[in-house]
């Protein structure tokens, strides 16, 4: 005897649950003892088929309910007449549904009752589908999003092609952006004694004519107690944070976004704010805009960026070793000492002309943080090094590529230009340090006291907001119009509770 099972769709009246009104079999299959992980459950294919049929039934009944009792024209009260049927399509997360809907028309005034999915619910997609499309679009490339949908739906569906995902992501992001603009009156959360503010910028390739990159800015605000350690050797995470992002040239959007984020985290005029920045002037400007709203503020040059810059300076071995020693003066907050030694290093770089050259690739030397963790897990991102010089990062990249060619000639011997270049690199770094000298603190002391000194210890860097999605593919170029809604959506998704509280409103209002 083979046992089989049957899954049935029934309708019944709420008052008489036992009196079945309609009944339809959704799925039948045999029950066999399992032999492996491949046949233990129904299997994805059958699960999808079940959802398909169940939804077909539900949607069909719901449409019929909508038309039930609609005998008269809502405009002129005359009788409505049946007028053929219309076919339309509805898309849900896993399934697509073809619906045939009765058309009702008024012969008196010509009123045509809604008879397509689009005219009934104003869209052809379920809210859940749009939410997932937008979330995937914000966290993955649109093409990756398409592939992920394909995996779960077990087939490619036109509704999930990359263009659709892009459209939904951008239109929902645009609504999130609008909501952000009208959000000035945020109810302040529990007052925070202490907040940490991170502001950072990242350069993203642009399609704008005459430009190679545009700067996106992001800020993250959190309470220090929100840092949760994640177990040994893994990055900590934040149990709560509020984010803002902008790709606008003026600072207004990132400033107002940052203030709202701070208010959501409990900023009051008594709060002490610790601000960490990479050293770029536009980042400090955002921080300064928050200052009048808080009680007191400590500005700190983000140790993550200091260490990263030191790692990324490519120098002959001896110079690099000396530079690494200067790092420890900076670590203890001895700026004067560090600057003096940097001057000496620039001098001694002039004597390096005839020494044997051993190039140390960026990031190859001591990449261990004073706290023992691996500080620079990610490859160096040249584009983030904006503040090092006045040049644009893209130009900087070109320059460093060409210097690399100058540095090493095929025989491995020293080219006379290399000494000058080493000096220039150290000078740049020295300039960066002296420009930010009043924001360099005793990092060592702060670490000992358990105080925040780096954006690296928690997932609060700009990387999680901008870089991971927008800089993932080197060849990707963005328009401001395409990037801005995406960034707003990413900021919302990265902010605790923000996306969950906004997605329904955003989806209903999206184009």
- Torsions phi, psi for 25 (to 5 deg): -80, 130
DSSP reduced 3-state for 36: coil
In the bound complex, what is the minimum distance in angstroms from residue 73's beta carbon to Zn ion?
3
Task: Identify the residue among 8, 21, 58, 109 touching Zn ion (CB under 5 A).
Answer: 109
The rounded radius of gyration (Å) of the Cα atoms in the chain is 30
Task: Identify the residue among 59, 63, 73, 113 touching Zn ion (CB under 5 A).
Answer: 73
Task: Identify the residue among 75, 235, 325, 354 touching Zn ion (CB under 5 A).
Answer: 75
Task: Identify the residue among 111, 116, 285, 403 touching Zn ion (CB under 5 A).
Answer: 111
Task: Identify the residue among 93, 104, 106, 487 touching Zn ion (CB under 5 A).
Answer: 106
Pick the closer one to Zn ion by CB: 73 or 159.
Answer: 73
Q: Using CB under 5 A, which of the segments 12-20, 98-106, 232-240, 269-277 binds Zn ion?
A: 98-106
Is residue 76 a contact point for Zn ion (CB under 5 A)? Answer: yes
In the bound complex, what is the minimum distance in angstroms from residue 110's beta carbon to Zn ion?
7
Pick the closer one to Zn ion by CB: 75 or 272.
Answer: 75
Is residue 104 a contact point for Zn ion (CB under 5 A)? Answer: no
From residue 486, how far is each of 346, 466, 478 by CA, in Å? 44, 10, 11
In the bound complex, what is the minimum distance in angstroms from residue 70's beta carbon to Zn ion?
12
CA-nearest of 358, 365, 331 to 422 is: 358
In the bound complex, what is the minimum distance in angstroms from residue 69's beta carbon to Zn ion?
16
> What single-letter DSSP state applies at residue 78?
P
Pick the closer one to Zn ion by CB: 111 or 237.
Answer: 111
- Identify residues 199-258 at the interface with Zn ion (CB under 5 A): none
- Torsions phi, psi for 444 (to 5 deg): -60, -45
Q: Using CB under 5 A, which of the segments 7-15, 67-75, 126-134, 145-153 binds Zn ion?
A: 67-75
Q: Using CB under 5 A, which of the segments 19-27, 73-81, 239-247, 406-414 binds Zn ion?
A: 73-81
Continuous segment of H or E residues that includes residue 486: helix 480-494
Rounded to the nearest angstrom, the gap between the alpha carbon of residue 16 and the centroid of all alpha carbons in its chain is 50
Is residue 44 a contact point for Zn ion (CB under 5 A)? Answer: no
In the bound complex, what is the minimum distance in angstroms from residue 107's beta carbon to Zn ion?
8
DSSP reduced 3-state for 240: coil
Question: Would you say the C-alpha torsion 198, 283, 142, 456 has a positive or negative sign?
Answer: negative
Is residue 79 a contact point for Zn ion (CB under 5 A)? Answer: no
Pick the closer one to Zn ion by CB: 108 or 333.
Answer: 108
Pick the closer one to Zn ion by CB: 76 or 417.
Answer: 76
- Asked if 242 and 265 count as a contact pair (C-beta separation under 8 A), the reply is yes
From residue 444, how far is each of 34, 300, 416, 455 by CA, in Å? 60, 13, 39, 15
**Binding residues with Zn ion: total (CB under 5 A):** 7
In the bound complex, what is the minimum distance in angstroms from residue 87's beta carbon to Zn ion?
24
Is residue 81 a contact point for Zn ion (CB under 5 A)? Answer: no
- Asked if 475 and 143 count as a contact pair (C-beta separation under 8 A), the reply is no
Query: Can you tell me the distance from the alpha carbon of 218 to that of 380, in angstroms, rounded to the nearest whole number?
Result: 19
In the bound complex, what is the minimum distance in angstroms from residue 80's beta carbon to Zn ion?
8
Contacts of residue 105, defined as CB under 8 A and 6 or more positions apart, other chains included, come to 80, 81, 83, 111, 112, 113
Task: Identify the residue among 47, 83, 108, 399 touching Zn ion (CB under 5 A).
Answer: 108
In the bound complex, what is the minimum distance in angstroms from residue 101's beta carbon to Zn ion?
19
CA dihedral 370, 457, 215, 423 (to 10 degrees): 0
Pick the closer one to Zn ion by CB: 64 or 75.
Answer: 75
Query: Can you tell me the distance from the alpha carbon of 506 to that of 489, in angstroms, rounded to the nearest whole number?
Result: 10
- Asked if 370 and 331 count as a contact pair (C-beta separation under 8 A), the reply is yes
Give residues in contact with Zn ion (CB under 5 A). Answer: 73, 75-76, 106, 108-109, 111
């Amino acid at each position: 005897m083979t046992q089989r099972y049957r899954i049935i769709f029934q309708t019944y009246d709420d008052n008489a649950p036992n009196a079945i009104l309609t009944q339809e079999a959704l799925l039948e299959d045999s029950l066999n003892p399992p032999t492996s992980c491949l046949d233990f459950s129904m299997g994805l294919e059958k699960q999808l088929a079940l959802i398909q049929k169940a939804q077909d039934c539900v949607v069909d009944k719901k449409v019929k309910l909508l038309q039930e009792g609609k005998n008269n024209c809502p405009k002129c009260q005359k009788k409505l007449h049946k007028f053929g049927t219309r076919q339309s399509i509805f898309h849900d997360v896993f399934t697509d549904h073809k619906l045939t809907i009765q058309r009702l028309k008024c012969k008196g005034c010509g009123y045509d009752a809604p008879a397509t999915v689009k005219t009934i619910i104003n869209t052809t997609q379920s809210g859940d589908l749009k939410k997932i499309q937008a979330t995937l679009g914000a966290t993955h490339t649109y093409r990756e999003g398409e592939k992920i949908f394909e995996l779960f739906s077990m087939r490619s569906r036109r509704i999930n092609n990359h263009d659709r995902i892009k459209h939904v992501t951008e239109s929902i992001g645009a609504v999130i952006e609008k909501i952000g603009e009208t959000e000035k009156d945020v109810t302040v959360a529990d007052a925070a004694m202490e907040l940490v503010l991170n502001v950072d910028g990242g350069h993203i390739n642009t399609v704008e004519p005459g430009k190679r990159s545009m700067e996106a800015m992001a800020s993250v605000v959190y309470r220090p107690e929100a840092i949760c350690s994640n177990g040994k050797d893994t990055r900590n995470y934040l149990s709560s944070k509020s984010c803002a992002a902008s790709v606008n040239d003026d600072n207004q959007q990132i400033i107002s976004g940052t203030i709202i984020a701070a208010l959501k985290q409990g900023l009051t005029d008594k709060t002490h704010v610790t601000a960490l920045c990479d050293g770029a002037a536009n980042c400090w400007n955002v921080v300064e805009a928050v200052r009048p709203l808080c009680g007191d503020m400590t500005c700190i040059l983000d140790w993550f960026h200091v260490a990263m810059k030191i790692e990324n300076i490519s120098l002959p071995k001896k110079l690099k070793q000396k530079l690494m020693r200067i790092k420890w003066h900076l670590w203890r907050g001895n700026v004067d000492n560090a600057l003096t030694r940097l001057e000496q290093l620039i001098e001694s770089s002039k004597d390096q002309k005839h020494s044997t050259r051993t190039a140390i690739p960026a990031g190859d030397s001591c990449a261990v943080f004073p706290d023992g963790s691996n500080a620079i897990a990610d490859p160096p991102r040249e584009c983030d090094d904006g503040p090092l010089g006045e040049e644009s990062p893209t130009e900087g990249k070109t320059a460093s590529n060409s210097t690399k060619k100058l540095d090493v000639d095929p025989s491995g011997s020293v080219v006379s230009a290399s000494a000058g270049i080493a000096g220039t690199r150290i000078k740049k770094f020295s300039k960066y340090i002296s420009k930010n000298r009043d924001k360099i603190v005793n990092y060592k002391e702060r670490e000992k006291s358990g105080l925040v000194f780096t954006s690296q210890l928690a997932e609060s860097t700009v990387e999680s907001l901008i870089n991971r999605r927008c800089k993932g593919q080197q060849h990707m170029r963005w328009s401001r119009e395409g990037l801005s809604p995406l960034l707003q959506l990413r900021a919302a998704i990265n902010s605790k509770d923000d996306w969950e509280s906004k997605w329904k409103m955003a989806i209903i209002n999206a184009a």
